Structure 1
Amino acid sequence: MNEVSSPMPATRSSFMPLWILIALFAVPMLAAWWLFFNPEYLPEGRKNHGELIEPVIPLDARFGLMDLQGEVFDPQSLEGRWVLVTLTEGACDAACTEQLIAMRQIRLAVGEERYVVDRLWITTDAAGAPELAEQLPGMHVALIGEPGLEALHEALPAAERDFSRMHILDPMGQLMMRYDADAPPEHVLRDLEHLLRATRRWMIRGAADGNR
């Protein structure tokens, strides 16, 4: 009676096609993750649309922000959320109003995650702010005086005046990105969507670490 030969154990070389297939799928994902957090290595034109503020600027008491009722505006009330910020000096003209409306549209465009996105208008114009705030409900308004204005300009990395630009405040209350005055709202939206995706990853990772 002929003996039935037992199957030969799989050799390392027999798994080579499988490892190649895994690498083909894994490497692009790992590269995308690394490049997202290291955008300086991206080719020109593929970086985030906004300009990173380095170092970041905590929106703290040194700027002397006040609310429309004359009370101290506490930036910590915005912590935990991504905040679209517009800075304006003097009366809010048509371009300023358009930018405030764009902030509202950007927030709505992120869909379900709009609940972790807020809006803040920092202005020197105490007279015209209440009317505009009433027209754009849900927008936080903070008044800034001359000393706070100068402190803000000194804190910003560039010498140019940053009013009429849109900025992004991170969940820790720090100005971390800014845009040209004529930047399309779509650019701000894309960057914000990327930041929200990254936030989800951090939250998922933090929850997983906490459950270990």
Structure 2
Amino acid sequence: MSLSRPARSRLKLLALFAVFTLPMAMAWGMVEWRLGIPEGRTAHGTLHPDVPALSNWPLTRVVKDGDDDWLLAFDCPDACPQAADRWWRLHRALGRDAHRVSRLRIGGGSSALPGEAPVAWAGGPPAWRVPGALWILDPEGRAVLRYGAEVETAQVLEDVERLLRLNPEPPVARLHAE
């Protein structure tokens, strides 16, 4: 059985309409009935918009490896070699993106690990400080996420990798490094 020429043309027109209308209908259905849309959060840390920018933190001095670096700032209330080692290992696990992240250790009496900049609270810690916390700060110094000491390192690594993937390094940055 073969279709007549007008029937084939109508079938082609219907197929063309389907190609453009079916995705819109599926998207509407996903929004209307919440099908295929994740319910949970995507980051393991917590947002704290009330934390001031890094330039307003009462620190002795802040050193970053690069101006466009993300910053892992962790607060050590006392000597904290375990926490320092934990974040050093996370930094190394970033692999080829490790150069885009700097580490800042606030407090703690032990010696600094490679690539870590030790600082101290100047004039006492601020009210928003959480002892043992880790903050991820964007290149402009704004706090993006905060993690408590109980959060697994793998979850923090996942979030840092996602942030770096969603905020790619500008192509010109590599030229400046060379």
Query: TM-score w.r.t. structure 1 length?
Result: 0.62
Q: CA deviation at 1:193?
A: 0.8
Distance 1:148 1:62, change over 3 A: farther
Question: Aligned with 2:75: secondary structure?
Answer: strand
Q: Do residues 84 (structure 1) and 76 (structure 2) align? A: no
1:138 corresponds to 2:138:
no
**Partners of 1:79 and 1:173 within 8 A in 2:** no
Secondary structure of 1:50 counterpart: coil
Would the aligned equivalents of 2:45 and 2:146 in 1 still touch at CA under 8 Å?
A: yes
Looking at structure 2, the residues matched to 20 and 203 of structure 1 have their Cα atoms a distance apart, in angstroms, of 37
Superposition RMSD on alpha carbons, in Å? 3.2
Change (3 A) 1:114 1:20: farther
Identity across the alignment (%):
25
Higher helix share: 1
Residues 50 and 177 of structure 1 are in contact (CA less than 8 Å); yes or no, is this contact kept in structure 2? yes
CA distance in 2, matches of 1:99, 1:109: 15
Counterpart check, 1:120 vs 2:104: yes
SS at match of 1:176: strand
Is 1:43 paired with 2:39?
Answer: yes
Distance 1:77 1:193 in 2: 18
**Once the 2 structures are TM-superposed, how far is the Cα of residue 182 of structure 1 from its aligned partner?**
1.3
What secondary structure is seen at the aligned counterpart in 1 of 2:42?
coil
Cα contact 1:60–1:75 (8 A) shared by 2: no
> Number of residue pairs matched?
157
Question: SS in structure 1 opposite 2:115?
Answer: coil
**Contact 2:48/2:146 (CA < 8 Å) preserved in 1?**
yes
